[in-house]
Amino acid sequence: MVSGTTERPRLSVFRSNKHLYAQVIDDTKSCTLASASTMHKALSKELEYSAGPTTEVAQKIGEVIAKSCLEKGITKVVFDRGGFLYHGRIKALADAARENGLEF
């Protein structure tokens, strides 16, 4: 199991049929430091999709979570793909987070 620390929190990704969620979690304190998902009102208005999240939507979630982390001083994370294959939407989110400044 992947575990996050205060110095290097865990970037956890979950995808359902309709939504995509990303959280940065400090497992030692059991608290969420940052989050982004297709459920957030600001993002859901910006993202137009009807058949569930696409790789483009996943890229946007990756950008948002990376920017949120950098604002809070988090630059290094441990990536937790949550048992999903590192392919498609999961890979798109991870690549976008890396391109926007997160290291993992």
Question: Residues 14-55: pLDDT tens digits?
Answer: 999 989 999 999 999 999 999 999 988 888 778 776 667 889
Give the span between the Cα atoms of 55 and 4, in whole angstroms.
Answer: 26
CA distance 68 to 40: 13
Percent of the chain at pLDDT > 70 equals 97
Q: Output the CATH code of domain 10-99.
A: 3.30.420.100
Q: Where are the domains of the chain?
A: 10-99
Whose tokens are 């956890």? That residue is 12
Asked if residues 77 and 101 have their Cβ atoms less than 8 Å apart, the reply is no
Cα distance between the two ends of the chain: 16
Strand bridging mode 10-15 / 78-80: parallel
Residue 96 has pLDDT above 80, yes or no: yes
Whole-angstrom Cα distance, residue 29 to residue 84? Answer: 25
For residue range 3-12, what is the model confidence (pLDDT) as tens digits?
A: 988 899 999 9
Q: Sorting pLDDT into bands at 50, 70 and 90, what band is 77? A: very high
Tokens representing 52 are: 């569930």
Contact 100, 67 (CB under 8 A): yes
pTM listed for this prediction? 0.91
Predicted confidence (pLDDT) per residue in 56-72, tens digit: 999 999 999 999 999 99
